[in-house]
Structure 1
């Protein structure tokens, strides 16, 4: 039995877009970038943040699946310029590298 995605999930999915690190740099400077590990569903994480699902978000923060983007991550992204995906949950921009071997940031 397959569960249908929520209306919010479907909306966020349509708002998720490919973006370059250069386009994200101003948001990093503002401190509003959240890194989502490649093992997680970016849209599901965004949905939980939008819905204030504190338990899920806390668990992801504690496990490192979700984190505020660190300087070292930003430097790595600037050097490699990989393909990134992002979705906005005001005031946050959630970012994920869609490569198979995503590294923890």
Structure 2
């Protein structure tokens, strides 16, 4: 948890995070709303930063390639492997991370 995070709100995001079959997220991917999060990042922290509209941090992750739209290649692999991913919704985005 980041130093500035409200523990109650952070805990709420944590509770909303779950494992889900990638196939269940296809409509979000097709709409361009699925955001891949690098394995070395804390998915809940990333979701928190999105929810707080922390543009500086999000841009840093985008520029370093640690977050970004799920690629066609990645989506295809997850689909073919019937993968489960960790996911959390921060409207309009669905943040996903390989398990």
Calculate the TM-score normalised by the size of structure 1. 0.85
Q: Which residue of 2 aligns with 1:24?
A: 25
The CA deviation at 1:65 is: 1.0
The CA deviation at 1:79 is: 1.7
The CA deviation at 1:82 is: 2.4
Q: Indicate the RMSD between aligned Cα atoms, in angstroms.
A: 1.5
3-state SS, counterpart of residue 19 of structure 2: strand
Following the alignment from structure 2 to structure 1, what is the Cα–Cα distance between the partners of residues 82 and 64? 26
Q: Which residue of 2 aligns with 1:101?
A: none
1:40-79 counterparts in 2 under 5 A? 40-79=41-80
Following the alignment from structure 1 to structure 2, what is the Cα–Cα distance between the partners of residues 67 and 39? 14
The CA deviation at 1:5 is: 6.3
Following the alignment from structure 1 to structure 2, what is the Cα–Cα distance between the partners of residues 56 and 7? 21
The CA deviation at 1:23 is: 0.4
The CA deviation at 1:36 is: 0.3
Calculate the TM-score normalised by the size of structure 2. 0.90
The CA deviation at 1:85 is: 0.7
Q: Which residue of 2 aligns with 1:91?
A: 92
Following the alignment from structure 1 to structure 2, what is the Cα–Cα distance between the partners of residues 46 and 63? 17
Alignment: residue pair count? 96
